[in-house]
Structure 1
Amino acid sequence: MINGCNKSIKRRFEFPGTEWPATPRTAEILRKTLNCRKFIPMRQFFFLLLLTGWSASAQVNIQVSSTEVDNILRGNYNAADYAAPFEVSDHQFIICNINSEVSVDSLAADLAVLASFQNRNTYSDTLSETFGIGAATRWVYDKFQAISANNSNRLRPAYMSWEQPGGLCDTWIGDGPFKNTFAVLPGSDPDNNELVIIAAHMDSRCDDVCDIDCLAEGMEDNASGTALVLELARVMAPFSFRQTIVFLVTSGEEQGLYGANSFADYCNAEDIPIRQVQNNDIVGGIICGETSSPPSCTEPGSIDSMTVRIFANTSPLQEHLNFSRYVEYIYHEKLETLMQVPMTIAVQSQEDRTGRGGDHIPFRENGFTAVRFTSANEHGDGSPDATYTDRQHTSDDVLGVDTDGDAIIDSFFVSFTYLQRNTIINGTMAALGGLAPPVPVWELIDDPAGLIVDITEPLEGMEYRVAVRTGGSDLWEQVYRTDTTWFIVPGQEAGTMYFVSVAAVNSDGITGLFSREFFKT
């Protein structure tokens, strides 16, 4: 269904304890999810923990299951074969539709199904129809197929498989193969194709990263991100974008970012360009744990349902942190007035939480712009020991609990409305990334008149944005608008270090990604 913006929506504020209006269908799913916890199949597998920390083993024999999808990734396709039945060129209409169509009930239902697989460890059962990573992987693929069937078969799903010699866990599955599950929404401009990737890992774990029999529903980490990706596939599939949108669900994250490494390495080796990667990992929880990894909340039990952190590599010579700044800038420019509950985009000046990692890192290592979206509050640092009482990386990372004995979960650890808002923000950034102009080519000239932005390869019909910050600020202090290709940065002070970046704005009013920063005193 395609809707425009509802101008009559009034802004409201959400407070802890707000009831979630579940539908009867979703309530039944939640009842079944709670009942599933009463029995966990125990398999007599023996495993050996080979390493602690991230695995250094490499992925081999990386393959895409569908030749059609592989060609779409490479830009080798006829765009007319995948055109939307009704073309919508108004980006504001698309943003409004994402804002109105992302559904709390849909997100909650997907979370409940993901919980029902009980253990999604990368090394867990691949044969069962109801338990383990195999059943979960097939369900995600079928979900993509169903979305495609409702949208003229334009969303094309596939698996990416790989083998992992010397992997972290010695279980029955051995070296694999392991699988990512993804779907592509082909862009309308294959000659200038760059992928826009919305990603999340689906695998879960307990305190022992190789335990394939424990209850590991992994609701915050990271069914929340998986549900976000699936929901955006559903909401964005009716539209066409210039760039190909990829909805990527990885596995192997908990053992060493295996799935993300496979996808990033494959794209790099095959010269498949990527415009941006939005990794979503732990995006539904709002309660602070005792050991939340810094920079994070400091008061256990505190609640934050109105802030999302964005992590990125901080080198000014690359575009990652500028993408975080772009999200914050575009949120205020395009989205803030549409959302019922205001959000704070907290740009973080480090690549991930202290001592932690995520699926955006392999993409950055392969030269692709990538960031991580994460809840403001995490329930733990993921390192259980004898004194650990938090939920992350334990059997307690569940959807919620039944407090009144009616066999229905009624007190939730995942906030569906908070997850909904993070989904809307992600969808907006991906939609604009899929429609925006490329990064302009320019240089920064140190002239007696001041610092001059010289756009050396002008883009036809474009305006430009010039973002400026000083060395003492992590955020842009000014963003100037200009329709010229020769721009003097105003208000300069002697002896101050200035960091400058540039973005193009097309005739539809869409601001593209900002370039890497150039800096001079």
Structure 2
Amino acid sequence: MGSHASAGDRPTRSTRRTFLSASAATAAAAVAVPLVGEPAGAGGAAPPRGPGHPVRPQAPDRELRALLREIDQGRIEATVRRLAAFGTRHTLSSQDDPVRGIGAARDWIHERLSGYAAASGGRMTVELQSYVQEPAARIPTATRITNVVATLRGETSPDRVYVVTGHYDSRATDVLDATSDAPGADDDASGVALLMELARVMATRRPAATVVFAAVAGEEQGLYGSTYLAQRLRAAGADVQGMFSCDIIGSSTADDGTRDPHRVRLFAEGVPTAETPAEATTRQSVGGENDSPSRQLARFVVDVADNAATGMRVWVIYRRDRYLRGSDHIPFLREGWPAGRFTEPHEDFAHQHQDVRVVDGKQYGDLPEFCDFAYITRVTRVNGAALWSLARAPGTPKGVVVVTTNLTNDTTLRWQRGDDPDLAGYEVVWRETTAPEWQRVVEVGDVTETTIDLSKDNVFFGVRAVGRDGHRSPVAFPKPGS
């Protein structure tokens, strides 16, 4: 009750009056006796009463559970140790030494990913994506930057793209020191091991959308490789609907010894960087400063990956990244695409960006010995659940508008119908303006307009697509329109 889906018919005015009367009659009981089975809302309160039913997490299906079981901790550990064994992977280190330096690491990653692609039946391709970076910040001489990119082409919606990166370059304490040992196990062999393991287990599968697994270079010198990757995708006309940078995901132990082995941070910015000042002002004036595409993507990750199948809790941080630092999701944000950064919950700064050394009998440096490989494996499962669920669901709705030209106590939403072959219909989600997460969902069917018997002045709305197999897209937050 309380919604009406059509191409323009007006809802019956008595529905809202009836709903309000029923709500008033049961308000006292609702406060005293919470609804059984309904998840707690903000502050532990029950979700608000109104159209639809409480939002529930999207449980992993049989195919996803099988994929997550295939993720192999032993392979992840072997990858981290092999990458650390190149001595240094500094962007300015040797590119032609077969044993030491970034060139040797590049060739090894390319060989391994090519081996995984061989099992894909031609659906996965691997390329060395290179360009010459002229002298710039932290690049004293012209330097070739090379990304190693494995692309698993989607079966039915290949132009819709999801990206996961880890950077395979490393650094010593001196960012221009290209000769000292810089094993970079946590930062960021851990992220590269994640994307390589996901490429392996997904290579034999058939996602609807395209998934890109990219080991990027030049991150420590200034996000050069990921910037080039984002520019290449933009030039190719790719519809990038989600991107994750996995950077420093190797340890569950803080510098004070505190362990947090079942939680990972996901940084998600608010008002998109790509918005003009006028667009940002409009978004904030109508609400939605907490509803950027990146934060909807983060909510999606929690919905599909914060569960027993991954063994992890996803700790969403409402920031672009940590103070004084940034990762490879930033170039994608600059292109206007939803993106976030995964990183461990508490960093051990005593081991990051340190030359390998022994002080007072203690060894320092970003070495494999300080990694928690079971933790990396669980973070890999989080990313696997998110990427697979995204690539199996319909795309995020586009052109979503909340009609603000009519002075009414209901809400009309419009959007463009997607072209995904397995699209079954749409759902409207809503929440109170003080709630951080979506609270209720209304199923509206395969339509492009619906009227919800609830005031747009009092709550926030969003729209998500639903596939025939029940997979749901991230939510699209509406812009005001007519």
Which residue in 1 is equivalent to 2:391?
434
| Alignment correspondent of 1:476 | 438
Question: How far apart are residue 458 of structure 1 and its match?
Answer: 7.3
Residue 371 (1) aligns with residue 340 (2): yes
Name which of 372, 389, 409 aligns with 1:449: 409
Deviation string, structure 1 residues 167-207 (Cα, Å, up to 9, x no partner)? 33456xx31222011111122136x5122111111111111
How far the C-alpha of 1:487 sits from its partner, in A, is 4.7
Structure 1 residue 337, shift from structure 2 partner? 4.1
Partner of 2:41: none
User: Pick from 365, 370, 375: which aligns with 1:413?
Assistant: 370
Partner of 1:162: 131
TM-score with structure 2 setting the length: 0.75
Amino acid at match of 2:321: D
Residue range with higher mean Cα deviation, 434-443 or 511-520? 511-520
Matched letter for residue 254 of structure 1: E
**Residue-by-residue CA offset, 1:148-183 (whole Å, 9 max, x unaligned):** 233435421101111211233456xx3122201111
Equivalent residue letter for 1:282: I
- Report the alpha carbon displacement of residue 124 of structure 1 after superposing the two structures with TM: 0.7
Cα distance, 1:490 vs structure 2: 6.5
**1:488 Cα deviation (Å)?**
5.0
Secondary structure in 2 aligned to 1:194? strand
- CA separation in 2, counterparts of 1:266 and 1:207? 31
Aligned to 1:509: 470
Any stretches of 5+ residues in structure 1 without a counterpart?
1-90, 290-299, 381-389, 404-408
Paired position in structure 1 for 2:294: 320
CA distance in 1, matches of 2:480, 2:265: 26
Alpha-carbon shift at residue 501 of structure 1 (Å): 1.8
1:302 to 258, 263, 269: 258
Match of residue 180 from structure 1? 147
Alignment partner, residue 169 of structure 2: 203
Alpha-carbon shift at residue 415 of structure 1 (Å)? 1.3
349, 352, 366: which one aligns with 1:392: 352
1:338 is aligned to 309
Structure-2 residue corresponding to 1:30: none
Residue in structure 1 matching 2:213, options 204, 228, 247: 247
Aligned with residue 429 of structure 2, among 459, 467, 474: 467
Structure 1, residues 226-254: CA drift from partner, whole Å, max 9, x if none? 00000001110011112221110001001
Q: 2:70 aligns with which of 101, 104, 108?
A: 101
Note if 1:219 corresponds to 2:185.
Answer: yes
> Which deviations, in whole Å up to 9, do the C-alpha atoms of 1:263-299 show, x marking residues without a partner?
111222332322211111111211123xxxxxxxxxx
Structure 2: gaps of 5 or more residues: 1-59, 272-287
* Aligned twin of 1:348: 317
Counterpart amino acid of residue 327 in structure 1: V
User: Which structure has the higher relative contact order (CA within 8 Å, separation 6+)?
Assistant: 2
* Residues 499 and 518, structure 1, Cα contact 8 Å, conserved in 2: no
Question: For residues 4-43 of structure 1, what are the structure 2 equivalents within 5 Å?
Answer: none
The total of aligned residue pairs comes to 393
In the TM superposition, residue 479 of structure 1 has moved relative to its aligned partner by: 4.1
8 Å contact from structure 2 (residues 428, 443) kept in 1: yes
Change (3 A) 1:517 1:144: same
TM-score computed with the length of structure 1 as normaliser: 0.70
Compare 445-454 and 225-234 and name the one that shifted more: 445-454
- Other structure's SS at 1:330 match: helix
Residue 121 (structure 1) aligned to one of 71, 81, 90: 90
Contact 1:306 1:344 in 2 (8 A): yes
Q: 1:423 aligns with which of 380, 390, 408?
A: 380
Say whether the 8 Å CA contact 1:209–1:255 is kept in structure 2. yes
Structure 2 counterpart of 1:364, which letter?
L
Distance 1:138 1:157 in 2: 12
**Amino acid in structure 1 at the alignment position of 2:261:** S
User: Does the aligned pair in 1 maintain the 2:321–2:327 contact within 8 Å?
Assistant: yes
Q: Give the direction of change, closer, same or farther, for the CA distance of 1:159–1:468 in structure 2 (3 Å limit).
A: same
**Residue from 180, 199, 202 that aligns with 1:233:** 199
Q: What's the secondary structure of 1:193's corresponding residue?
A: strand
1:257 to 200, 223, 234: 223
Q: Which amino acid aligns with 1:422?
A: V
> 1:283 is matched with which residue: 249, 255, 258?
249
- Taking the TM superposition and a 5 Å limit, the aligned residue runs for 1:143-162 are 143-162=112-131
Q: Find the residue that maps to 2:143 and give its secondary structure.
A: coil
Structure 1 contact 205–393 (Cα < 8 Å) conserved: yes
Contact 1:194 1:275 in 2 (8 A): yes
CA positional deviation for 1:467 = 3.1
> What secondary structure, in the 3-state scheme, does the structure 2 residue paired with 1:114 have?
helix
Distance 1:397 1:451 in 2: 63
**Displacement of 1:461 after TM fit?**
5.2
Residues 80-128 of structure 1: CA distance to partner in whole angstroms, max 9, x if unpaired?
A: xxxxxxxxxxx83331122110011010010110110111111111111
Give the AA of the match of 1:320. Answer: S
Cα 1:150/1:266, change in 2 over 3 Å: closer
Secondary structure of 2:206's aligned partner: coil
Counterparts of 1:479 and 1:165 in 2: how far apart (Å)?
51
Structure 1 pair 116/461, CA: closer, same or farther in 2 (3 Å)?
A: closer
Shift of 1:464: 2.4
CA deviation map 1:416-445 (0-9, x unaligned):
111111111111211122222122243213
- Residue aligning to 1:67: none
> Which of 103, 108, 116 is the matching residue for 1:139?
108
Contact residue 286 and residue 303 of structure 1 kept, 8 A = yes
Query: Equivalents in 2 of 1:479, 1:219: separation in Å?
Result: 43
Out of 267, 272, 276, the residue aligned to residue 311 of structure 1 is: 267
Partners of 1:427 and 1:214 lie apart in 2 by 34
**Percent of aligned positions that are identical:** 28
Q: Deviations over 1:286-316 (max 9, x none)?
A: 1123xxxxxxxxxx32111111111122114
